[in-house]
Amino acid sequence: MSFIIIDVCLTDLPKSKITVGKNGKSYMKLKVAQKRAVDDYGNTHYVSVNKTKEETEKKVDTIYVGTGKEYVFQGDSKPQESKPVSSEHKSEKSALDPPDDLPF
């Protein structure tokens, strides 16, 4: 079993992306995706504001709002942070991968 703990910068969330549900509560669709390499802080995932189909087609810039770490449980033991991906197992850079110069 594993889980991912994320940190989201609430001040970077664009108010225009907030929707109100039938229950009157406010929501925003976020995307959590795996980074192609573990960063200097041990983060294995990034968080961005989800784009609409139209925004994707228009190639609107992605809004990155956070990062996260994956923790994996080994039986009854305490959770362990994910281990970095070795360079020989890294895949080619994808258009979906975030830039390397993210501020987090």
Terminal-to-terminal C-alpha distance of the chain: 26
pLDDT (tens digit per residue) in 80-95: 665 554 444 444 444 4
Is the pLDDT at 102 greater than 80? The verdict is no
Q: Which residues, listed in sequence order, are joined to residue 81 by a DSSP beta bridge?
A: 71
- Position 5 scores a pLDDT of 94
Query: Any bridge partners for residue 101, and if so which?
Result: none
pTM of the predicted model as reported, rounded to 2 decimal places: 0.69
Burial of 104 (0-12, 13-18, 19+ CB in 10 A): middle
Q: What is the DSSP string of 19-52?
A: EE-TTS-EE--EEEEE-SS--TT---EEEEEPPP
pLDDT at 36 over 60: yes
